A and B are shown apart, each in its own frame.
Chain A
């Protein structure tokens, strides 16, 4: 028997082997065929004949502009020689062909004011001295001539009102862009000039990036269309890039189209969204030095199309097929990486997107290739033989705080990290891809912990398929987010409006955008901008916006809200506030300007009126607001959804830009701070609010013929709330409009007070905290609006948010105060009875630095430290948001000792400190809402009978539990059981049937709940016949599922005690 079996086995194996050999040959053939097919699919459309024969002007939308140092072009610039900066513009034609345009002849320069009495001879001497000093400080350089030339030009500084039209400035043209900085340094420190002595110079426009300088001078704005006419471009002698069209031209031959009409459209960019998976080791976060990249999923979409062009996944080792996806499996990791590089090269994406690609995926791939010794891998840019460069960078701005990141340069391609973009533009409690998708797309994804990924990879082709599906989803979601949030439209429009390259929008702060506009405008006006000395933050602060005293209470009559439309921009326009209209105190005395020509601001500064000098900032603002009006008007007429998207993005960009001008003047560490302007703006703002209050309360009185006296109950930065004491929304609206028109008439144009909305009812809690039902038409309320209340704050747990929202809804919409009170009581009872969903109790805080850097111990920091000791792989790192719950601890324990990882709490059944949540989380926000409404709110809500039932779970991990024995208690009355009783005590025997039914029902209910939650998770992972692996800390379902599972097990144990 046995022998026969054995024989058969061998035989089987032999035939199998044979078969495999055959198929190997076949497979190879098939593979090369498949590869060719893929390449065909991946490639861009070939160039049309007109392009090939150079008989057509080349018109393209540019996305990225940079420069290189190279030899100057002999044909285009026959007169110059040596090294020069060559600008490269990358873009796409409307047919979808990629373009690389080398621009020659543009020279870096800056200005200094010309010392009086400097003649042509002096200038040439000055030139020589400067050249000498430059040579001294750049000894190693082999540049022939540092200072190309010095020209005298007539310009005027933007700072302060000046009566003369212009004065001489020296324009210093240098050979290479980097020399601007070193030359500025020399001039700042001062140089010795014969006849004039030691002089130091204030430089003008010397800190502008070369590419931006070029864009300003050629009128190019980020993401616009550029045309190079026939005959003006020369095909490059040697193709340096992988672009289909590569040519040289002179900067003066470029035609830059302003983004209007046909040129407001978007070229069909290729957008690649990708995600990688790595096989980490147990207990460690994947490290590129050790852990292999096992999968890369890619999704290529043409801008403006709904369906992706290419969907594929590259896997290490075999992977079962996935519908609609090109699965490419390889035997070695090198092949995977190489396949990805080939994809990049063939597909030639213009924009690379993903989630956290800049700080994880891309650096990981590059570092990994280095470890594997693949020198050919990092050639991912559009330039042949040029490797991707990675360097550490920190980005810090007042608005966004400090972030550490990796700066990756992929030449000619725009990287757009959705993680950075979302973090920048939205305030969320968690920025994991999962919760961001849940928030914007209403779509969850399963969150497979990276320690499980290795297990899936080491399984079979089915488990790897599972992983691939997961990986694909991670590549697919960023694209969906990009579409949903209109990032491409909004960012391109922002670049067009402000004139900066698209890449600046993510990597730099607000001020560069304003500076770019300022420089453009100044150039038109023949003004130059001084390179302000970095005064640091010592310039002091100024008084901010005003807030009128809030008359707190619950208003059951309509409250009209009067808003100033774009208050700060309007003030700047109305009073002509600008750098170039500001008059210094000395000048005021000297010039003796007539009072009708100047405005003295409430903060004491003097600005000339526009009849003497029109300000640049007001002009920029006027244009921005006019453009916004136009965009909005066009938006109304537009029918094409894509045109609409562009216009909507534009009007939003215009609004943001207009509002950031004020901030620019007040940014003390910014490019050109001018506190005189910003403090004047706020002082006018304060005056206007006060003025409005006074007018309203003077005019709308019984004496003035109105039914009631109006009362201003509250006023903030740019709005005033008025109670006209009329009973209906309609009447309040009428009076609101009347008041707005009447008061607007007393202001200088374009300051306008608008009546926008009614709050009815209105709950005013304190300054900056209120809630109300918002009405814009008298028939139906629009929505519930809340400011400064815990519905919007994110450092609270979800319970607070839900509770507050629900209470406000009941109070404001249902007008059911007893209902709201009952709701609060039920919620508190649930909390004390440990029936609360744990996800509602999770508090998250961002971990911005390590524990040692924090001065005081903070709950989330300490927890992160403890988690690191438990398992370094799952512990949150710097930059992550740390979720935690507060657990019960010994009396007198500090708050930071009571924080715990929610998952750990679930697993070990650790009791939650309900009292903490009651006292520190929900009591304040609740009392704030209820105090204006309810007498004895605190007693009623927080100390009533509903707080007298509690549940104290027994943790499974505590020291004493190893020794303690659970004693059975009666299921009916909870007294300890003794003797032979196992389920209920003698006294409760009569209720046996009832209690048993209750136990059974309890189990059934929990089983049902758990079943539903489990199915929900299976649906989310996209497979109903596989185990759920997800451990997403952001997902409420996950916590509920875990808790339901635990409760169910407990209920079952209890049921098992009835042994009939």
Chain B
């Protein structure tokens, strides 16, 4: 028996919006500690990790660990039917091949049940080990989203370089080049507008903008984003979900291919 009641139902809606473009089908793993998902995107370049800890739910009951395969597109369709203020409850019986989403309006005058067929997904469970990073940048998520969007209109890849002065995003395309530098800035009124750089070693890495733009779909979840970089590791783009957990994206850096260099 599984029953998870989330008062802030919109959170689940936002979570799904943030991953459904990258992943088509995935297993949600439920255990006593929380509700989580780990999946590679369909082109096997990026990895998504989601964690919603049990403490964040108003009511959390999970009798035994189970794994539920869902088509994220279909799940998003159902969650769209929930109002932004609705309380969402996820329910599943042992051995059942369906999952139920229950939406309660805040005034309790409307209750909706949506039952979705589960899928049997045979895939490997992957994780990226925790590591020390050379540089960690924390900045407003809206700002990061804007930068990625702007740069993708000029080039396909972005070079992220972190130095003591700040973090530089640069790209180059057919029509020209672009460079955006964000300086360390901790003297702001609101702490979520700060740009904080912790750096042990300068790093400079190249990434495909296509994926970063998919990651920024998670911006509604959190005001700040944390970008962790190391020269030998994939970048981690993390959006914290207040008091509950996170959505993390991992992306391997692009290794400059000969092909790119020989292009005129």
Contacts and interface: CB of A to CB of B under 8 A. Distances in A.
Interface in B45-86: 45-47, 64-67, 69
A833 B122 contact: yes
Nearest to A968: B125
Interface string A938-962: 0000000100111111110011111
A949 B119 CA distance: 5
Contact of B43 (A833, A889, A950, A987): A889
Given A954-B124, A963-B233, A890 B45 contact: yes
A955 B44 contact: yes
A966 B25 CA distance: 18
Contact of A961 (B41, B44, B66): B44
A954 B40 contact: yes
A974 interface: yes
A966 to B, nearest CB: 5
Given A963-B128, A965-B126, A974-B27, A890 B118 contact: no
Nearest to A889: B43
Contacts of A955: 44
B126 A951 contact: no
B160 to A, nearest CB: 16
B42 A869 contact: no
Interface string B184-209: 00000000000000000000000000
Main secondary structure of the interface of A (DSSP, over half): loop
B92 to A, nearest CB: 13
B25 A952 contact: yes
A964 B126 contact: yes
A893 interface: yes
A967 interface: yes
Contacts of A834: 122
Contacts of B211: 890
A960 B21 contact: no
Contacts of B126: 954, 961, 964-967
A962 B251 CA distance: 11
Contacts of A949: 119-122
Contact of B124 (A890, A962, A966): A966
Contact of B67 (A945, A950, A973, A986): A973
B42 A889 contact: yes
A889 B211 CA distance: 12
B96 interface: no
A888 interface: yes
B122 A974 contact: yes
Given A959-B252, A966-B126, A950 B42 contact: no
B131 to A, nearest CB: 9
B252 to A, nearest CB: 3
A888 B43 contact: yes
Most chain B CB neighbours (cut-off 10 Å) among A889, A893, A967, A974: A974
A264 interface: no
A950 B120 contact: yes
B164 interface: no
Query: Which interface residue of B125, B127, B211 has the most chain A CB atoms within 10 A?
Result: B125
A963 B123 CA distance: 17
A71 B202 CA distance: 88
Given A888-B42, A958-B45, A965 B251 contact: no
B163 interface: no
B210 interface: yes
A425 B21 CA distance: 49
A797 B120 CA distance: 27
Interface residues of B, number: 43
A631 B227 CA distance: 84
A170 B45 CA distance: 79
B251 A951 contact: no
Contact of B31 (A869, A889, A961, A975): A975
Given A948-B120, A949-B119, A952-B25, A960 B66 contact: no
Interface in B8-38: 21-22, 25, 27, 29, 31, 38
Given A950-B25, A975-B65, A960 B123 contact: no
Contacts of A960: 40, 44-47, 128, 234, 250-252
B165 interface: no
A924 to B, nearest CB: 22
A976 interface: yes
B52 to A, nearest CB: 15
Nearest to B255: A959
A473 B65 CA distance: 60
Interface string A961-998: 11111111100011110000000011100000000000
Contacts of B146: none
B129 interface: yes
A911 interface: yes
A974 B66 CA distance: 8
A891 interface: yes
Contacts of A958: 40, 44-45, 252
B128 to A, nearest CB: 6
A705 B149 CA distance: 79
Contacts of A833: 122
A974 B253 CA distance: 30
B25 A974 contact: no
Contacts of B38: 967
Contact of A952 (B121, B210, B234): B121
Contacts of A954: 40, 44, 123-124, 126
A710 to B, nearest CB: 50
Contacts of A976: 29, 65, 67, 125
Nearest to B26: A952
A416 to B, nearest CB: 44
B85 to A, nearest CB: 31
Contacts of B129: 963, 965
B259 interface: yes
A149 B159 CA distance: 84
Contacts of A963: 128-129, 233-234, 250, 252
B127 A952 contact: no
A713 to B, nearest CB: 42
B127 A967 contact: yes
Contacts of B29: 975-976
A952 B119 CA distance: 12
A948 B47 contact: no
B65 A987 contact: yes
A891 B251 CA distance: 16
Nearest to A956: B44
A891 B211 CA distance: 10
Contact of A973 (B45, B66, B128): B66
A834 B210 CA distance: 28
Interface in B79-125: 117-125
Contact of B128 (A889, A959, A965): A965
B47 A964 contact: yes
A967 B46 CA distance: 17
Contacts of B120: 948-950
Nearest to B210: A890
Contacts of B121: 949-952
Given A948-B117, A955-B44, 12 more contacts: A890-B45, A950-B69, A950-B120, A950-B121, A954-B126, A964-B250, A965-B126, A967-B125, A973-B66, A973-B67, A974-B122, A986-B64
11 contacts: A833-B122, A834-B122, A869-B259, A888-B44, A891-B21, A952-B123, A954-B123, A954-B126, A959-B252, A968-B125, A969-B124
Which 7 pairs between the two chains have the least Cβ-Cβ distance?
Answer: A959-B252, A890-B43, A952-B123, A949-B120, A958-B44, A951-B122, A964-B126
